[in-house]
Amino acid sequence: MGTDTEGANIVVKLDDLLQERRMTLTELADRVGLTLANLSILKTGKARAIRFSTLEAICRELDCQPGDLLGYASGKPQ
């Protein structure tokens, strides 16, 4: 079942939220206690999973809901 396209329809909208909040990825990484590299993997959509605790911390710092950060693109993965 585990294919290379697993999760490919999930869209991470972190760039948009950071721009709206006028916050850098580095600043967010410091605030949530993640490395810049790990947060960058999430931002580029290359993450295969996210912990609820990480999702909660990001939502807390960006004052958003999980649905603001993650979306679903129906159809075939690109």
Q: What pLDDT digit, counting tens, does each position of 9-46 carry?
A: 899 999 999 999 999 999 999 999 999 999 999 999 89
Residue 14: count of CB within 10 angstroms of its CB: 21
Candidates 77, 61, 51, 52; CA nearest to 14 is 61
User: What's the predicted TM-score (pTM) here?
Assistant: 0.83
Write down all domains in the chain, each with its CATH number in brackets.
10-67 (1.10.260.40)
| pLDDT band, residue 1 (cuts 50/70/90) | very low
Burial 43-67 (b: 16+ CB within 10 A, else e): beeebeeeeeebeebbbebbebeee
